[in-house]
Structure formats: C-alpha cells, structure tokens
Amino acid sequence: MLSNIRIVLVQTFHPGNIGAAARAMKTMGLTNLVLVNPRTFPDDEATRLAAGATDVLENARCVSSLEDAVHDCVQVVGASARLRSLPLPHFDEPDDMARQVIESATQAPVALVFGRERSGLTNNEIRCCTHQVSIPANPEYGILNLSQAVQILAYEVHRAWRKRDESGFAYQRPLEATPPSREQLVYFQEHLGHLMQQSGFLTQPHARTEEQLQALFARAQPSRKELSLLRGLLSAFESHLPKH
C-alpha cells in the first residue's frame, strides 16, 4: 500500500532539500519519489543530506511536468499554505487527508505534491490536483522548510497506515468503486468542455464555469465506472447536436 503513495517535488531549487525529503520519506516507509524539473539533480548535496536514504534518490524519477508525474494517480493532494480561489476540496487537518489517501492507495497510485521552496505551487499546478491540504502552524510564523513539510505529511500517512493495519484486516473496496486516474478525469473534463462549447452552453470566454464543474466532480469523487457512464451520456448528447 505505501508503495502506491508518491511524493512529488516541483521545481526544487536546493538539491539538499531533495536529499532531506528523501530521508523524511524513508523514515516513514515511503520510497516513491518523483521530481518535476529540479534545478540540479543528481547532486552531491542531495546525496549527503539523504544520509541512509540514497536508495530513494537512486530510484527517483525526473519528469518535465506535473501532469506527467500524476497522470495515473486516482488522488492528487497539493500541499499549500495559501488560501486559493479554486474551490477544490480542502483538508484543514493532515490526519484527515492521510486517512483518505491510505484508503485510495489500496487500489491505485496517489500523490502528495509539494511546490517550490519560495513560491509553492502555482494555480495551474493546483488545478492538476484533486485536493489541497494545509499544515496548521503558528499564524505569526508558519513557514516550513520543504523537507519538514514532507516529513509531517509522510508521518501522518504512516500513522494512518499503522492504525488501519493494526487488526490485520481491511475492508476491500469493490472493483467497480475504484477511483479514476487523473488522466481519465482530464479526458472527461475535456469532453465535457468541448460539448458545452459545441452546444452553446458556454457563451462567455472568461467564465469560470469549467473550473466550478471541475471542483464539483472533484468533491463528488466518481468511480471509474461512474465516470464511464458520464462519458457515455456525453457521447449520447453529442450525437444529437448538429454537425458543423
């Protein structure tokens, strides 16, 4: 289950933070690290600060975009200290996030996404996420180092996993309830957006309708089977529209 939990670091500037994050991961049983356009990697400083977690670094994947890092994930949680205008589901407490992540990871990959040291994640990157999470901290000084943030969320995930596994038994989610991957959600949203434009439903070029609908489906958390039914419904509507 823990192998299905992916830590994604976006455009990390200091290679030492990558090493410290790898060390934080390994102490909590997480080994799946993906780096999106790191400034420098591999790097001696990353290796030095990883201490005994060099295997996590050696197996880390580097990709060119956040979409590449999470396209197969059924849940993507963006760590963000800033309040956003995007109406995505938000975890105010990391332990609530961890319980849901563990449930999702029983079936398919999930990702915890961390942004740049100074500026965090952009709004476009948050749009690649299905949820957001914040770490409660001193409002007068709530600044966390990147590896500290990784450590806190990794600890909560490991704690939720231990609690879930104490009895040695866990209810299995039926296969038809498996969440869709990020890629499947994107295809659905593109299909829906195309149909709304083709039907004339979207008339304002800057309307936030698509963003609001994206947030609605993120909160609803449809299964793969339900998303497939919705795609079929869209195709049926599409077939009755006039051909241009």
Q: Where are the domains of the chain?
A: 2-165, 175-238
CA distances from 11 to 50, 137, 172 (A): 18, 24, 36
Q: Is the peptide bond before 42 cis (omega within 30 degrees of 0)?
A: yes
d(CA 74, CA 66): 14
Portion of the chain with pLDDT greater than 90, in percent: 63
What token pair was written down for 123? 């709004």
pLDDT of residue 80: 86
Q: Inform me whether the pLDDT recorded for 205 exceeds 80.
A: no
Average pLDDT over residues 186-195: 90
d(CA 145, CA 54): 20
What token pair was written down for 187? 């295809």
State the average pLDDT for the chain.
89
**Tokens 């149909």, located at residue:** 195
Please give the distance of CA 67 from its chain centroid, rounded to a whole number.
10
pLDDT of residue 28: 96
Average pLDDT over residues 174-187: 81
Average pLDDT over residues 39-48: 96
Write down the pTM of the prediction: 0.77
As its CATH architecture, domain 2-165 has 3-Layer(aba) Sandwich (3.40)
pLDDT of residue 244: 60
CB 159 within 8 A of CB 93: no
As its CATH architecture, domain 175-238 has Orthogonal Bundle (1.10)
CB 5 within 8 A of CB 32: yes
* Range from 4-18, 122-136, 154-168, 190-204 that averages highest in pLDDT: 4-18
Average pLDDT over residues 185-198: 89
